[in-house]
Amino acid sequence: MAFDLVQEWKELVAQVPELPIQDFGLTYIYPVFVVLIIIEYLKAKELFDLKETLSGFVIAAGATVMRLLTNVFEISVYLFLFAWAEPFREQYLGYDSLGFAWYIWLIAAIADDHNFYWHHRLSHNIRLLWAAHLPHHSARTFNLTVSIRNGWFITLYKPIFWLWMPLVGFEPIMIASVLIFNAMYQFFLHS
């Protein structure tokens, strides 16, 4: 049994680089964020302090490196949990996966928002999590660079709040997708 799980884990991890979602942020989203930050700067220069803006970009770069280092592990954990729980879902719940119907995407988006709420709330209430979240709130001015100014170590605990989703049958690619769209939505809340 244990060997089978290890073998499954290896096979699932081998699939992760094939997922198109892996470099979506760096390739498509981050350049859009940078363009929007430049537009905001051109329209409202008084909201920007050069040193703070540069530190925001450095913090964002570090967080991006951490995200890249942990991303494969995070998605492989989702894949593993999804596959591991499949026999239980089939036997006790009568399905192997929730599938990709439009209403499942809607439920996944709502579940993702729920997860984000608790992740964010607990990041404000638990000191260790606050230490990881604090760089996001350390800016003196409020502009779009604040939204990319995330602590480097958030990627080490944030995925914990999403672990239940593959267990109940949300497809890992769906989880990764709603995480990306939520990140895009959160970006605009800092304008």
124 pLDDT higher than 70: yes
Tens of pLDDT, residue by residue over 10-57, are 665 565 555 555 556 656 777 888 898 899 889 988 888 888 888 888
Quote the CA–CA distance of 191 and 173 in Å, as a whole number.
Answer: 29
pLDDT over 90, % of the chain: 40
Residue with tokens 């992740």: 119
Ordered by start, the domain boundaries in the chain are: 52-188
Query: Residue 150: which of 179, 103, 186, 114 has the closest Cα?
Result: 186
> CA 121 to CA 159: how far, in whole Å?
15
Note the pLDDT of residue 188: 81
Residue 156 has pLDDT above 70, yes or no: yes
| Average pLDDT for 152-162 | 92
Find tokens 């760089």 and name the residue: 135
pTM above 0.85, yes or no: no
